[in-house]
């Protein structure tokens, strides 16, 4: 099992760097992951996206459609891509502590 060390904390992750035990996720983990993957400091808008994705996953066991992210956060599509340069999946979902979605992502 690959591990990722950020600021002295060790996380079990999959090969793509997605958290293996999503239940250990918290704000601190999100902050560390964001710093590590180049997203940087998390702004209020970042948090709106992350919290919505997290909540959606906890309730529905899947990442939300990007449309829902826009609808619930009031952000425009292009803003989401600017906030998360790696995109909603490898960027936002990873920081929100979700397992990697299937498909071409």
Q: Which residues bind other proteins (CB under 8 A)?
A: 14-18, 37-38, 62-63, 65-68, 71, 77, 85-90, 100-105
CB of 97 to other proteins, least distance (A): 16
Helices (H), 37-92: 44-60, 66-73, 77-83, 87
Which residue, 1 or 10, is less far from other proteins as judged by CB? Answer: 1
Q: How far apart are CA 73 and CA 79, in angstroms?
A: 11
Which residue, 17 or 35, is less far from other proteins as judged by CB? Answer: 17
Assess whether 104 carries a catalytic annotation.
Answer: yes
CB of 103 to other proteins, least distance (A): 4
Which residue, 22 or 101, is less far from other proteins as judged by CB? Answer: 101
Query: Which pairs with CB-CB distance under 8 Å and at least 24 residues apart come from 61-66?
Result: 62/101, 63/88, 63/89, 63/93, 63/98, 63/101
User: Which residues are catalytically annotated?
Assistant: 104
């Amino acid at each position: 099992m690959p591990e990722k060390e950020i600021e002295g904390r060790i996380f079990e992750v999959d090969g793509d760097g997605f958290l293996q035990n999503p239940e250990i996720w918290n704000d601190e983990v999100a902050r560390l992951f964001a710093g590590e993957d180049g997203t940087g400091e998390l702004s209020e808008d970042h948090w709106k996206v992350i919290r919505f994705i997290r909540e959606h996953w906890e309730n529905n066991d899947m990442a939300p459609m990007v449309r829902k992210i826009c609808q619930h956060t009031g952000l425009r599509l292009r803003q989401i891509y600017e906030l998360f340069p790696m995109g909603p999946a490898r960027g936002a979902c990873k920081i929100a502590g979700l397992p990697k979605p299937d498909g071409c992502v």
